[in-house]
Homo-oligomer: A and B are copies of this chain.
């Protein structure tokens, strides 16, 4: 492995200094190569699917694994979209002249070598590789074992294009040792690797965060809350709450817990239930909720759970302060919304709730790189540092200071 990491380090300088045009040409060639090799990719993917079926993986897992012609087309389109993004390297973020007449530029540069750990969906392999490449980074990819054949053929095709362009194939690599032991090695390679992005289950992310010596930007769970204030527009609040829970249930920006101000609980909860019933949402309520609605009781564990399913826990709160306290205790710092018509309640909620995205009168489902206008999304960071919330390609850069002098010495 040592030799592999040495080669990755050497590749850093090369990819960091490619021109925008060079990078975009490579990305377009990669897109074409995926299209030209669609049947090859589908054949390899079938091996993964067979293994998954033989091992009784769930239908949703099988769906996430599956590559067909249209999905390969999507992968290729995504590479083209990434090629079309504005160049992320070399942006002058700030620039000024010091007292000593030094011209100082704060300028975006690639991070270096990025390890990305993810699961199931093989399209992440080409997406993540392309985002890292466009931002001038070397990528080391560790996909799920269940997608081994698919990830291998995709990475090989991308590497072939690199070699065709006389570039080192280590610019894009699958982690050679695709086991937990390999991951353990990767996350401790701080001499070679500059950032680890773990995307996936809670236990994986916890393991990486606890054991990495490399910097980590987590894409952790979203235990999102929507709080309905006593002053809300009732119809609008119901519409938003239902959307925040049910528009898509398996994703991180979906609301898992609804907080309702006690003053309007009697009036709004039955109406909410009527709408959630239309969506077949299972409701679980706190003691006060179950006095109003005939639903299952929510226990403490419910409030700690990211259901990723069509289930919603409901809690009646005595005040805005109580809502904020509940979020501070149970939230994952991802996305929370207040539905209210009161100016100062909204401002207090947006200021005091310590989450990446805080919404007034809109669905939490909007936390998304595309909605935010970032183009192709790296993911949603639940880190507080470096990058928080939806990550665009610019978040795969850091900065350096370039200082232009003409003989200055320090007195």
Q: Which residues of A pack against B, CB within 8 Å?
A: 12-13, 16-17, 96, 98-100, 102, 104, 109, 111-112, 190, 194-195, 209-210, 213, 215, 217, 233, 236, 239-240, 243-244, 247, 328, 350-352, 354-363, 365-366, 371-373, 383-386, 388-390, 398-411
A195 to B400, CA, bound (A): 21
A385-B111, A403-B360 known; A366+B239 contact, CB < 8 A:
no
A373 to B96, CA, bound (A): 9
Chain A interface main SS type = mixed
Cβ contact within 8 Å between A410 and B195? no
A213 to B214, CA, bound (A): 11
Distance in Å from the Cβ of A165 to the closest Cβ of chain B? Answer: 20
Distance in Å from the Cβ of A152 to the closest Cβ of chain B? Answer: 30
Given the complex, which residues of B lie within 8 Å of A371, measured CB to CB? 98-100, 102, 410
Distance in Å from the Cβ of A93 to the closest Cβ of chain B? Answer: 11
Which of B366, B384, B398, B401 contacts A111 (CB under 8 A)? B384
Q: Can you list 7 residue pairs at the A/B interface with Cβ under 8 Å?
A: A13-B354, A99-B373, A195-B385, A210-B213, A243-B410, A362-B406, A362-B409
Given the complex, which residues of B lie within 8 Å of A408, measured CB to CB? 240, 361-363, 366
Given the complex, which residues of B lie within 8 Å of A410, measured CB to CB? 243, 247, 363, 365-366, 371
Given the complex, which residues of B lie within 8 Å of A16, measured CB to CB? 352, 354
Given the complex, which residues of B lie within 8 Å of A194, measured CB to CB? 384-385
Given the complex, which residues of B lie within 8 Å of A352, measured CB to CB? 13, 16-17
Which of B111, B350, B373, B405 contacts A402 (CB under 8 A)? B350
Most chain B CB inside 10 Å of its own CB: which residue of A363, A372, A410: A410
A104 to B390, CA, bound (A): 12
Cβ contact within 8 Å between A405 and B362? yes
Given the complex, which residues of B lie within 8 Å of A401, measured CB to CB? 356-358, 372, 388-390
Given the complex, which residues of B lie within 8 Å of A111, measured CB to CB? 384-385
A363 to B409, CA, bound (A): 5
A400-B356, A400-B358 known; A100+B240 contact, CB < 8 A:
no
Given the complex, which residues of B lie within 8 Å of A17, measured CB to CB? 351-352
Cβ contact within 8 Å between A406 and B361? yes
Given the complex, which residues of B lie within 8 Å of A215, measured CB to CB? 215, 383-385
